[in-house]
């Protein structure tokens, strides 16, 4: 008998059915945040509706319908998030460029509306 290294006797691993793949994500938390944030065109509410449908279908066992509604919820959530981020940035950029333009216009028109009271009096001589 070979005793040069310790041996562990393990039974062979049991082969059963492969582990079930996890169901599709329903994106419910993301949809709730988008709904509460009051985003553009109520896209967060639409995403919330599809997320709830996806969760209901996943619980009932209809994986294909759950995957379909999950995909729609993800798309509407992405649109709502993009709208919530892009629109305020665009509005801020428009305000900044408008202020810059108005300040340049006011600076250029100052010379037009002011009189030079001090200077040469060529008219009096």
> Which structure tokens are listed for 3?
């005793």
pLDDT at res. 41: 83
* pTM attached to this predicted model: 0.63
pLDDT (0 to 100) of residue 115: 63
Which residue is listed with tokens 């066992």? 61
pLDDT in tens, 40-94: 788 999 999 999 999 999 999 999 999 999 999 999 999 999 988 888 899 999 9
Task: Check if the beta carbon of residue 74 is closer than 8 Å to that of residue 34.
Answer: no
């Amino acid at each position: 008998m070979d005793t040069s290294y310790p041996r562990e006797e393990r039974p062979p691993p049991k082969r059963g059915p492969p582990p079930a793949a996890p169901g599709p994500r329903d994106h419910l938390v993301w949809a709730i945040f988008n709904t509460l944030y009051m985003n553009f065109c109520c896209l967060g509410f639409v995403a919330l509706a599809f997320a709830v449908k996806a969760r209901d279908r996943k619980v009932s066992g209809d994986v294909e319908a759950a995957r379909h509604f999950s995909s729609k919820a993800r798309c509407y959530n992405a649109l709502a998030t993009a709208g919530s981020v892009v629109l305020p940035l665009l509005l801020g950029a428009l305000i900044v460029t408008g202020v810059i333009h108005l300040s340049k216009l006011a600076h250029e028109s100052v010379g037009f509306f002011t009189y030079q009271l001090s200077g040469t009096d060529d008219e009096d001589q």
